[in-house]
Every structure is written in structure tokens, then in C-alpha cells.
Chains A and B, each alone.
Chain A
Amino acid sequence: MLQPEGPAPSLDEAAAKLAEAQAILQSSTASLPLVCLGDAIDLGADAEGGVMKGHGTMMAGEAQLQATVCGLVERVNKLVSVRALKGRYTAQVGDVVVGRVTEVAQKRWKMDVNGKQDAALLLASVNLPGGVQRRRTNVDELNMRELYQENDLISAEVQQINQGDGAVALHTRSAKYGKLQGGQLVTVAPYLIKRLKQHFVALAAPLDVGIILGCNGYVWIGSKDLVDAGGRDEDEGMEAAGPSGQVDLQLRERMCRVANAVRALAALGLPVHPPAIVEVCNLSGLLRVEIKDMLGPEFLAQVAYREADRRQAEGDAQPMDH
């Protein structure tokens, strides 16, 4: 996130523009039901029928619900909860995530998914080379590192969440999941990634790169092969296309541009999803901004302005679905 206070950018004009744009963006949030920690939550009509307290709330005295975090009030039927915007990733079953192996333990890998705890990827939940359904042998257990080692980045899906302590279990039981190579990772705050139908996205030409938008805020930018329908060749195991490290310069340039677009959106606190990424890349091309200058205050101001203009054009202060 850009530092909120104080003049940070180098060019004064750019700084002023950026601040202006952000102010416009902020005013569009004026009508949202934000609460502060400690505020009593208006129960309204539900007070009669009884209310179920969800995350971010607690009972304070009789028939009084209080927010325990600062955030957005959400009401689904009788369930009232407050969703804090910042904070670590909270998993939901079916989420596509990108995780990093922190430990190779007995019959499981422990994964950092930017959550409140490490997630577990069980040996039983991965596709072994040479056939999907065979039983795991002792040899498999000893050879776990052949498959995934410490620090490896892996795309996976949330299989289940333990009711009691919230422990998350992942699986890679699909051709498209597995070890990530030949690209780079950009980390953003999880709340900037909305849950979409497709988290494996192939950005069309001229960008021509593949991105994986992990719901946990880990965004992988790599070649399009990752994302193609066929996915990986199962017999090859989890190897992604291309020998590691050797990436064609043109492809690398496109990947860097997309990566910086993600960084720019994250720096401004704007949601990171494919149309926005493409728009930022197009804008940088239009303004002839070099890739490395996409993170400078002038370009960020431009992006913020575009977004502010778009919202004013939409005419209302509701959060927009793109």
C-alpha cells in the first residue's frame, strides 16, 4: 500500500495529482456501511426475530451487537457479520491458491498460504507421476522432496477446512495444479482478489501471458502454457513448460509489464482482476511508459485518475462489479 500520509512521490505535480485522484476514489465509498471497532451494530428489523452473530461481532450486553473489527457490515438472512478488509487470507473450500512449501513433513507438505496458519498438502492429495490412482508407498513418502521441496511455489485448491481449528487442507488433483516455474510471484493483500469463475487466466495478445490469481493474494505471472486447457502432461508430473530460467526476452518483457500492472493496482488499493490488469497495461502502452516507470508516482497518478473518472462516469457511490 502507498504510505497514506506525507508527500511520498518525487515529483510534486504527480504527488498532488495522485492525492486528488485518491480523494475522488475515497469519496465514492461514502455510502458504504462501514463500522469501527466498538461500534454497536444496528440490528434494525432483525432485532425482533433474533440475530445470529457472525465473524467480527460479539454480544455486548443484552440484544446489543458490537463490532470487534473495523470493516464492512454484511447481512445474510439472520447472520450479521463484519468483514475486516485487511488481514490474512481466510480460506474457503474451492479457492484456488498459490502456496509456498515451508516444510516437508511426514506424508504431507506444510504450505505458507498467507493465512493465519500454514495449510497442509497431503501426499494422498497430489497427483503422483505415473498414474493418478496408485497407492502411496513408503518409497513415495521418502521421495516427497523429488516432487515438491522447501520454498517451491505450487498452485492448488482448498479441499477442506477443519471446523475446529480452521486448519486448511489443499489438493492438486487436477492437471492444471502443481509446481510453478518460469515466472515470477507478486504478493498483494488478499482482499484485493475477488473470487472469480476462473483464476487461471490467459491474457490475450498482445500481452500473451498466463496469470494465476491466488485467492490468498499470491499472484503468479508466467507463460500461457500453464493456463491452457490441456494443462500439463500428467506423465511428466508437475514440470511446467520450458527449461527453467531460459525465458525469451520478449516474453519476459510482457511478463514484467503485467507484473508491474499488478503491483500498481495493489499500491493504489484497487482490485486486481484481469480486466483491470489489461487496462493498466494498455494505459502504459498508450502513454509510452517504460515498464520500470510503471511503479513511479506519475503513472500511478494516471491509473488512479482513470479509475476515478470511470467511477464518476458511473455516477454512483456503490462498489462496482467489473
Chain B
Amino acid sequence: MPGLSAAELSFLEGGIAQDLRNDGRGREDFRSFSIQLDVISQASGSARVRLGATDILASIKAELGSPPAEFPHLGRLELAVEISPTAGPEFEGRGGEELSAELGKALERSFAGGANGTGAAVDLAALSVVEGKTCWVLYADVLVLNADGNILDASAIGIKAALSNTRIPKVEVLAGEGDEEGELELNDDPDECARVSTAAVPLIVTLTKVGRHYIADATGDEEAQMSSALSVAVNEKGQLCGVTKRGSAGIDPSVISDMLSVARRIGKRLLAKVDAEISLAESRLESET
């Protein structure tokens, strides 16, 4: 983003202080967003999310793999974020890579759940095929095509939507002969596929501190002025699934607890809205086919 003049900055901060940002939003308002499902037909599930001008593609590829060594009864969820250089000239080369890695980590923290898989975004136990040997691995990839702030929150919405669209082929373990391992037979008939429950998938609300206040869903210009940001993952039950602090400035601890409750409140509203948008996208998809 090109830099803003000192005058524009103070106008921006003044607006935030008065709860009237440059586009008329209050500090806690999200921009309007849209969701499109099944945009990459070769993926097991996919979605495109447009939040303001921020445009991301989330795709899920389900592949058979080996379960984690410490928890042989679970499957795996692997997350990655990639910011395309098309998102803006500042994302060519190293800058883009670093931010991609940082956001990927933040997503992982919010979606991976505890060490033993409890509280993860998806039911990892349900992904197991043969305990200790084979399981489904869901590779969730986010590609950021256009950046106008708040990539992380948009990515979380994208992954939730893509997961709701994901079909996992049915696997049958055929009886082996004697000591031999049974073979796996895959049935990818779309009617026989298993769906992934997204009830536990959290959403992320990033609160960006600009001056003395914090705002939700910052645009590119607002984000460029941030001193620090707190990304909070909230799930349907109102629980916090992950908290990530970004930015160099410190945040006073008393402010943090306030920010957490604000994030929860916004998160709840957002979850309802996202669920509604996903259903809408699903019915649109059905009417097209």
C-alpha cells in the first residue's frame, strides 16, 4: 500500500476515535462479504471468499496418509497460506513469503486444537481409517489473490466454507489373507462420500490497534497504520481457540482482556453471518447443477 500523508493518518485515527471509519463503518463492523463454493472442481472441497476487495481461494485436498506418531487414532489437518504476488507489488519475493508463513502459523494455532486433537476444528478421530497405519490428511491451502486488509479473518472464513464443501471418499478395508494387510478400496461416488462437520470450526476476529482504539476487519490502509493486532479464534460455543498477537508494539494486559471479550462478541455475530452465507452459497450451487 502506498504510504499515507500525515494529514490522512490523523484523519483516519480521528475517525476511528469517533467510531466512524473512512467507509462509514463503526469500529466493530465487518465489511460485507460473499462466498462461492466448489470453485476448484479437482479439489475435495473449495471456496472463494471476497471480503471487501480482499479475495482469497481456499481449497481442501483429502489424501490418504499416515497418522501422527503420538496419536495413531487420529487423522490430520494441515494448513498453509500463500499470498500471490498478484495481491500487490509489495508481496513479490521475501516480504510475501514471511507474511504467508506468519499467517499460516496463526491459522494452525487456531485450528489444530490441543496436542491430543481435542478441540480441533474438525473431528480428527473421524478421519482415521486404519488406526496406526492409514488416515485421511486434509490439506487446506489458502491462496490470497487480492489483498485489502484482514487476510487472516478472510482465510478462516474460506477454510470453514471449503470444509463444508468437502467430500471424502468412502474407504473400505478389505479383509486381508492370513497375515497380510487388507487392501483399501476407495469409493468416490459423490453420493457415498462422507462430509466434514464444520460445527467446531472457529472463525478468527483480528482486532487491529490504531492509536488508542482497536478496530475489526481493517482495510489495507488501516492495517498499514497498526501498532499491534490481536487475532482471536472463536468457535460456536463461544470458546477461544487460539490467540495470536502480531505487530511490534506491546499491549497492556488490562486492554487484552477487554479485546478478548470484544472479539468474542464480534465472533458470535460473524459465525451466524458466515453460516448464513455458506447455506446461501450451497443453495446457489444446487440450483446451478
Say whether A7 faces chain B, with CB atoms less than 8 Å apart. Answer: yes
Contact of B24 among A3, A12, A260, A297 (CB under 8 A): A260
Choose one: A6, A10, A179, A290; the contact of B7 (CB below 8 Å).
A179
Cβ–Cβ contact A151 & B20, under 8 A? no
Query: Roughly how many angstroms separate A9 CA and B280 CA in the complex, as a whole number?
Result: 11
Q: Does residue A294 face the partner (Cβ distance < 8 Å to B)?
A: yes
Cβ of A8 < 8 Å from any Cβ of B? Answer: yes
CB <8 Å contact, B11 and A10 = no
Partner of A6, one of B2, B10, B13, B36: B36
Of B26-34, B103-111, B191-199, B229-237, the segment with at least 4 beta carbons within 8 Å of chain A is B26-34
Q: Which residues of B contact A8 (CB under 8 A)?
A: 34, 36, 50
With contact pairs A100-B2, A151-B5, A256-B24 given, residues A249 and B18 touching in the complex (Cβ less than 8 Å): yes
> Which residues of A from 227 to 253 have beta carbons under 8 Å from B?
244-247, 249, 252-253
Closest to A249 in B: B18
Contact with B11, one of A11, A12, A150, A182 (Cβ below 8 angstroms) = A182
Q: Is A291 part of the binding interface, using a Cβ–Cβ cutoff of 8 Å?
A: yes
A307 within 8 A of B: no
In angstroms, Cα B72 to Cα A264, docked, is 54
Nearest A residue to B18, CB-CB:
A249
Residue of A nearest to B24 (CB): A291
B8 touching A184 by the CB < 8 A rule?
Answer: yes
Known: A3-B50, A252-B15. A181 touches B7 (CB 8 A): yes
Q: How far is the CA of A7 from the CA of B13 in the complex (A)?
A: 34
CB neighbors of B among A157-213 (8 A): 179-185
Which interface class (under 10, 10 to 19, 20 to 34, 35 or more) fits A? 35 or more
Say yes or no: is A152 at the interface (Cβ < 8 Å to chain B): yes
Given A151-B5, A183-B11, A245-B11, A10:B24 Cβ within 8 A = no
- Asked if B176 is at the interface (CB within 8 A of a chain A CB), the reply is no
Interface string of A255-271 (1 = CB under 8 A from B): 01101100100000000
Q: Specify the chain A residue showing the minimal Cβ separation from B9.
A: A245
Taking a contact as CB atoms closer than 8 A, the residue among A10, A100, A150, A185 that contacts B32 in the complex is A10
User: Which residues of A lie under 8 Å from residue B22 when comparing CB positions?
Assistant: 184, 256, 259
Residue in chain A with minimal CB distance to B276: A10
* A285 within 8 A of partner (CB): no
CA distance A295 to B53 in the complex (A): 11
Answer whether residue A87 sits at the interface, using C-beta atoms and an 8 A cutoff: no
In contact, B24 and A257 (Cβ under 8 angstroms): yes
Partner of B10, one of A7, A245, A292: A245
A12 with B8, Cβ < 8 A, contacts A245-B13, A252-B18, A256-B24 known: no
The answer to whether A112 has its CB under 8 Å from any CB of chain B is yes
A296 at the interface (CB under 8 A from B): yes
Q: Which of A6, A244, A249, A263 contacts B23 (CB 8 A)?
A: A263
Is B3 close to A, CB under 8 A?
yes
Partner of B5, one of A100, A252, A257: A100
Q: Compute how far the CA of A12 lies from the CA of B282 in the bound complex, rounded to whole angstroms.
A: 12
Using known A-B contacts A10-B33, A292-B25, determine if residue A244 contacts B284 with beta carbons closer than 8 Å.
no
Closest to B32 in A: A296
Minimum CB–CB distance from A253 to chain B (whole Å) comes to 6
Instruction: Find out whether the CB atom of B11 lies under 8 angstroms from the CB atom of A256.
Output: no
Contact with A along B43-73 (1 / 0, CB 8 A): 0000010100000000000000000000000
| With A260-B23, A260-B24 as contacts: A151 and B3 at CB distance below 8 Å | yes
- Give complex CA distance A149, B33 in Å: 37
Asked, given contacts A249-B20, A252-B20, A294-B24, whether A151 binds B32 with beta carbons under 8 Å apart, the answer is: no
A126 CA to B83 CA in the complex, in Å? 42
Say whether, besides A259-B23, A263-B23, A292-B26, A244 and B6 are in contact (CB < 8 Å).
yes
Chain B residue with the shortest CB-CB distance to A246: B14
Residues of chain A with a CB closer than 8 A to B12's CB: 184
Closest to B50 in A: A8
Interface pair B5/A152, CB less than 8 Å apart = yes
Q: Are A244 and B34 in contact (CB under 8 A)?
A: no
A11 vs B283: C-alpha distance in the bound complex, in angstroms? 12
User: For A297, what are the chain B residues with a Cβ–Cβ distance below 8 Å?
Assistant: 32
Q: Does A153 touch B at the CB level, under 8 Å?
A: yes
Asked whether B32 lies within 8 Å of A295 as measured between CB atoms, the reply is yes
Structural contact, B11 and A247, CB atoms closer than 8 A: yes
Q: Which residues of A contact B31 (CB under 8 A)?
A: 295
Contact status A253-B7, CB under 8 Å = no
Q: A100-B2, A297-B32 are in contact. Are A244 and B7 (CB under 8 A)?
A: yes
**Scoring A residues 1 to 33 as 1 if CB is less than 8 Å from chain B, else 0, what string do you get?**
001001111111000000000000000000000
- In the complex formed, the residue of B with least CB distance to A112 is B2
Most B Cβ at <10 Å: residue of A6, A152, A180, A292: A292
A244 partner residues in chain B, CB cutoff 8 A: 6-7, 10-11
Q: How far is the CA of A6 from the CA of B24 in the complex (A)?
A: 27
- Bound Cα distance from A153 to B20, whole angstroms: 22
Q: Specify the chain B residue showing the minimal Cβ separation from A9.
A: B34
* B280→A290 contact, CB < 8 A: no
Task: Known pairs A12-B280, A252-B18; list 15 more (Cβ under 8 Å).
Answer: A6-B48, A7-B34, A9-B32, A100-B5, A112-B2, A151-B4, A151-B5, A152-B7, A184-B8, A184-B12, A244-B11, A245-B10, A249-B18, A256-B20, A256-B23
Q: Mind listing 19 A-B residue pairs with CB under 8 Å?
A: A3-B50, A6-B36, A9-B32, A10-B277, A149-B5, A151-B5, A152-B5, A152-B6, A180-B7, A181-B7, A244-B10, A245-B11, A247-B14, A252-B14, A252-B15, A252-B20, A253-B20, A256-B21, A256-B23
